[in-house]
Amino acid sequence: MKRWRVAVVGAGWSGLAAAVSATDAGHQVTVFEASRSLGGRARSLPPSSAAWLPDGSAAVLDNGQHILIGAYRETLALMRQVGLLPGELLLRVPLNLRFDDGCGLRLPDWPQPWNFVAGLALASGWRLSDKWSLVQALRAWRKRGFQCDVRTTVADLCKDLHTAVVEDLIAPLCISALNTPPALASAQVFLTVLHDSLFTPVSPPAPDAQDPWTAAGSDLLLPRVDLGRLFPEAAAAWLQARGAQIRLGQRCEAPQWGGGQWQLHGQGYDKVIWATAPQHAVQVFGAYQAQAPRNLGLHLQRWLRQARGLKYQSIATVYAHAPGLALPQALMGLRSSPLAPAQVVIDRGQLDGPAGLVALVVSAPQGSYDDLEGMVIAQANQALAPWLGGARLTPVQTVMEKQATFSCAPRLLRPQQRVAPGLLACGDYLYTPYPATLEGAVRSGIMAALALDETEGFVWKE
């Protein structure tokens, strides 16, 4: 196998997964990252952005709440590869989609699929006919191999389900997993997520693994540490210990072909893996297309045509604090509406944060920053009143990622991984079976590293 000199542009989870996999395969890797921090769209905020709590103490926050699930087998394996112990860093919580009013689905800590059977039988607030409508739907989806027409939306897929099941299960799952409302979301991607989380056995770790911990596919895995320590910092240390270079604070324009190599920052590379957000990739590749050699320009044009078709959704996280607040579980669903937009609350005091700190998550938010924060705080003060004990939540900091994820719509044509010979892209937006998730990002990065050894021919025409 030939050893390539490889540049990875972007040190998010996808870029770091590509760099670790390429280094492990023996390639010489240099990672470029425009910011001074690692992790991309799943990162810790810098110390200068630390939140000050009412008691004068500081809290390190993340740029949003990222929840893993037990089905993320490649992510968990990669964490182990760089020396981390997932069982120590993640709080395993059997799937709990019950709302603050007690209604909804909660799975017991049993093996699959018996956990789902028992959870469905005990689902609170559902009539027997509601549960039977879900059983019939699952049987039909399973009979079709969890496949459907690519034009189908989640709302179309679930039109025969009873309202209680849609409101308490389908809609929360769709919005949290795909960050897209059911009426606009791809039913095929939703079915893939449902299959992998609820009905796919998870392989246990290797017998000689330092961390024998494992989780069911449907288990929620909540980070006990900030996102920097969850993977990016360990990945960077692993890479540097094996001779890879990491250059923070170095923004890259599009790589340019010259002298038989791709040129970046005055250095030549055999292969380039572009692991930035798709918006940035479109910007830099679009700027280079006009001046690129003719054949290369055609490759870029084809890739850009697909990438420019992506639409985006926002995610907002409102951090708030109340003295003495402790929720009955680390994660709780909230009834949402246009005037009460938060769908999930996470008790950071049960994870890595100070007591009384909670994170309220709004997927696909609407309206202005100030209006959103005010509505969320009012919603939380009402919904969490039983645990506030007369106290009131105070907003600490609101983080808005305006283009956090791509809109996971039906018939979405995603860009190809191969941009041009020797130039690859990776990121969650490229991993077709999944929505925008950490697992999709990691898998795309691993696939990009595997594709480095593909034989490619390129006839250049000026």
Instruction: Give residues with Cβ within 8 angstroms of 301, minimum separation 6.
Output: 289
Please report, for the domain that includes residue 39, its CATH number. Answer: 3.50.50.60
Q: Write out the residue range of the structural domain in which residue 30 sits.
A: 5-43+227-311+409-453
| pLDDT reported for residue 77 | 94
219 occurs within a structural domain: no
| pLDDT reported for residue 459 | 43
Are 304 and 419 in the same domain? yes
174 occurs within a structural domain: no
Are 398 and 321 in the same domain? yes
261 occurs within a structural domain: yes
| pLDDT reported for residue 49 | 65
Domain tally, the chain? 2
Are 264 and 295 in the same domain? yes
| pLDDT reported for residue 460 | 44
191 occurs within a structural domain: no
Are 444 and 301 in the same domain? yes
Are 257 and 305 in the same domain? yes
Are 414 and 311 in contact by the 8 Å Cβ rule? The answer is: no
Q: Give this prediction's pTM.
A: 0.92
| pLDDT reported for residue 202 | 67
How far apart CA 287 and CA 345 sit, in angstroms, is: 42
How far apart CA 335 and CA 422 sit, in angstroms, is: 48
Q: What is the CA radius of gyration of the chain?
A: 23
Instruction: Give residues with Cβ within 8 angstroms of 157, minimum separation 6.
Output: 148, 187, 190, 191
| pLDDT reported for residue 368 | 80
Are 415 and 270 in the same domain? yes
Are 271 and 332 in the same domain? no
Instruction: Give residues with Cβ within 8 angstroms of 223, minimum separation 6.
Output: 66, 68, 89, 90, 91, 230, 351, 352
Are 272 and 338 in the same domain? no
With vertex at residue 371, the alpha carbon angle to CA 369 and CA 377, rounded to the nearest 5 degrees, is 100
pLDDT tens digits for the chain (462 residues)? 689 999 999 999 999 999 999 999 999 999 999 999 999 988 887 766 666 777 777 777 888 888 899 999 999 999 999 999 999 999 999 988 888 888 888 999 988 888 989 999 999 999 999 999 999 999 999 999 999 999 999 999 999 999 999 999 999 889 888 988 899 999 999 999 999 888 877 656 666 666 778 888 889 999 999 899 999 999 999 999 999 999 999 999 989 988 889 999 989 999 999 999 999 999 999 999 988 888 889 999 999 999 999 999 889 999 999 999 999 999 999 999 989 999 999 999 999 888 999 999 998 888 788 899 999 999 999 999 999 999 999 999 998 888 888 889 999 989 999 999 999 999 999 998 999 999 999 999 999 999 998 756 544 444
Rounded (10°) angle between helices 438-450 and 13-24: 30
Please report, for the domain that includes residue 328, its CATH number. Answer: 3.30.70
Are 306 and 432 in the same domain? yes
